[in-house]
């Protein structure tokens, strides 16, 4: 059985129409797993009891970094996969330009969070806003579940 990654999110109408576009179940499973990990991470919003108030922001910062990494990997995965129309013209599911937007924003955010972990909330939110502003409709459609997952992580960790 083969189907596109978007079917997992209920957005695979175009995908199902195209006979030439086939991805393995493994690819969509990996993406679903990444999303699940991020969502599970979002549920774990309470820091371990062994941490001091000084270290709790570091733990929270780490959760945000993991979520941003999942977003990076999703963007790269969509960029790697080709989508073809019935005329046989193929293009990346996420363009190089949009992938660059995601990776540059996420990398900048992670670098800042590493230097100042206490600023995870503002930095993480700013990165997501930057990505949403610069992504076109096609890019947003592809990455919406992952962007939502990062927002959920930020929200559950206590970001305003």
Q: Which residues bind other proteins (CB under 8 A)?
A: 40-41, 43-44, 48-52, 54-55, 58-59, 61-62, 65-66, 68-69, 72-73, 76, 79, 96, 99-100, 103-104, 106-107, 110-111, 113-114, 117
**Closest CB to other proteins among 18 and 69?**
69
**Closest CB to other proteins among 13 and 50?**
50
* Spatial separation of the C-alpha atoms in residues 67 and 35, rounded to whole Å: 9
The partner residues of 90 in beta bridges, in order of sequence, read 84
Look-up: residue for tokens 């695979």?
Answer: 12
Structure tokens at 23: 């991805």
Cβ of residue 149: shortest distance to other proteins, in angstroms? 15
Q: What is the dihedral of CA 8, 14, 17, 20, to 10 degrees?
A: -80
Cβ of residue 52: shortest distance to other proteins, in angstroms? 7
Cβ of residue 114: shortest distance to other proteins, in angstroms? 4
Look-up: residue for tokens 């924003």?
Answer: 105
Look-up: residue for tokens 């305003």?
Answer: 160
């Amino acid at each position: 059985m083969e189907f596109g990654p978007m079917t997992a999110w209920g957005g695979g109408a175009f995908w199902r129409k195209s006979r030439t576009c086939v991805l393995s179940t493994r690819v969509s499973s990996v993406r679903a797993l990444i999303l699940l990990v991020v969502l599970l991470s979002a549920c774990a919003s309470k820091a371990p009891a062994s941490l001091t108030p000084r270290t709790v922001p570091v733990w929270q910062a780490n959760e945000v970094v993991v979520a941003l990494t999942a977003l990076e990997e999703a963007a790269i995965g969509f960029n790697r996969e080709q989508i073809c129309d019935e005329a046989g013209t193929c293009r990346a599911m996420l363009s190089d330009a949009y992938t660059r937007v995601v990776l540059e924003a996420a990398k900048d955010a992670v670098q800042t969070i590493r230097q100042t972990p206490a600023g995870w909330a503002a930095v993480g939110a700013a990165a997501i806003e930057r990505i949403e502003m610069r992504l076109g409709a096609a890019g947003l459609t592809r990455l919406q579940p992952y962007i939502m997952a990062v927002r959920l992580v930020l929200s559950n960790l206590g970001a305003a």
